[in-house]
Amino acid sequence: MKCALATSETSREAWYCARTQPKHEHIAAANITKQLGLGVFHPRLRLERATRRGVVRVIEPLFPCYLFVRCQLDEHIDQIRYVNGISSLVHFGGRIPVIPDDVIEDLQRCFDLQEPMTVRNDLQAGMEVSVAEGPFLGAHGVVVRMLPPKQRVQILLDFLGRPTLAEVDRNCLTIENRSIVDLMPSLAIQSRVDFAAAV
């Protein structure tokens, strides 16, 4: 399906959202930059993930399968669509919307254009965690308290159907159920202020 150009905005440079093939965000971004010379923004996070090999540090996109491209759309629409790694430009009802500059600027204030944001993984009492290694591998629990001198954490587990207190190494725990609001507190505060002002 061929999308209509959104508005007269297409004759000037603006930000647009492109959908990428799964796990191809970095490939698509590199190809758009190298082949077309266009500005690309794809914020990434450096964080910890629990795996069967233990806790591993990974880099993941903030918006999986999406990136932002700055271009004059009426000149570059077909070129962008055929870049390796790109699936399509995001469109609604056959129209390709412009992403407001202030939305991208807010994100860019939080993210370095080249380096992923390191997500701090500070534990606090009450946080839900999963165990990534050791005898409790795969178990889920809640942090009861920190034991800083030993880098140990006391957690409450459901073990064999009973609540059980266990002491584990801090490095074998990952935090569960983290939201974007938790990962980017400065944007969360701003979004709450904007929402309150709009209501």
In a domain, 1, yes or no: no
Number of separate domains in the chain: 2
Comparing 33-42, 109-118, 186-195, the range with the smallest average pLDDT is: 186-195
Same domain, 112 and 26: yes
Same domain, 27 and 105: yes
In a domain, 42, yes or no: yes
Stretch 55-72: mean pLDDT, rounded? 88
Same domain, 89 and 124: no
Average pLDDT, whole number, for the chain? 79
Same domain, 102 and 131: no
- Answer yes or no: is pLDDT of 171 > 50: yes
pLDDT digit string (tens) for 75-97? 999 999 999 999 999 999 889 99
Comparing 3-17, 48-62, 74-88, 172-186, the range with the smallest average pLDDT is: 172-186
Same domain, 113 and 155: no
In a domain, 2, yes or no: no
Q: Which amino acid is at 46?
A: R
DSSP H stretches of helix in the chain: 25-31, 73-81, 101-110, 180-183, 185-198
In a domain, 130, yes or no: yes
pLDDT the model gives residue 197: 47
Domain boundary among 118, 151, 166: 118
Same domain, 104 and 15: yes
Residue 145 token pair: 């308290």
Helix, strand or coil, per DSSP, at residue 131: strand
pTM above threshold 0.75:
no
Comparing 44-58, 135-149, 178-192, the range with the smallest average pLDDT is: 178-192
In a domain, 103, yes or no: yes
Same domain, 155 and 130: yes
In a domain, 3, yes or no: no
Comparing 42-46, 125-129, 183-187, the range with the smallest average pLDDT is: 183-187
The secondary structure of 163-199 as a DSSP string is EEEEEEEGGGEEE-S--HHHH-HHHHHHHHHHHHHH-
pLDDT the model gives residue 33: 95
Q: What are phi and psi of 28, to 5 degrees?
A: -60, -45
The crossing angle, in degrees rounded to 10, of helices 101-110 and 185-198 is 150
pLDDT the model gives residue 7: 44
Domain boundary among 101, 118, 135: 118
Same domain, 94 and 21: yes
Comparing 117-126, 165-174, 188-197, the range with the smallest average pLDDT is: 188-197
pLDDT the model gives residue 111: 79
**Residue 135: domain span:** 120-199
Stretch 182-193: mean pLDDT, rounded? 45
Same domain, 90 and 183: no
Same domain, 92 and 136: no
Q: Which CATH number does the domain housing residue 139 bear?
A: 2.30.30.30
Sheet bearing 128-131, strands edge to edge: 162-169, 152-159, 140-147, 128-131, 173-175
Q: Which CATH number does the domain housing residue 89 bear?
A: 3.30.70.940
Same domain, 25 and 114: yes
Same domain, 132 and 113: no
- Answer yes or no: is pLDDT of 67 > 90: yes
Domain boundary among 88, 118, 148: 118
- Answer yes or no: is pLDDT of 147 > 60: yes
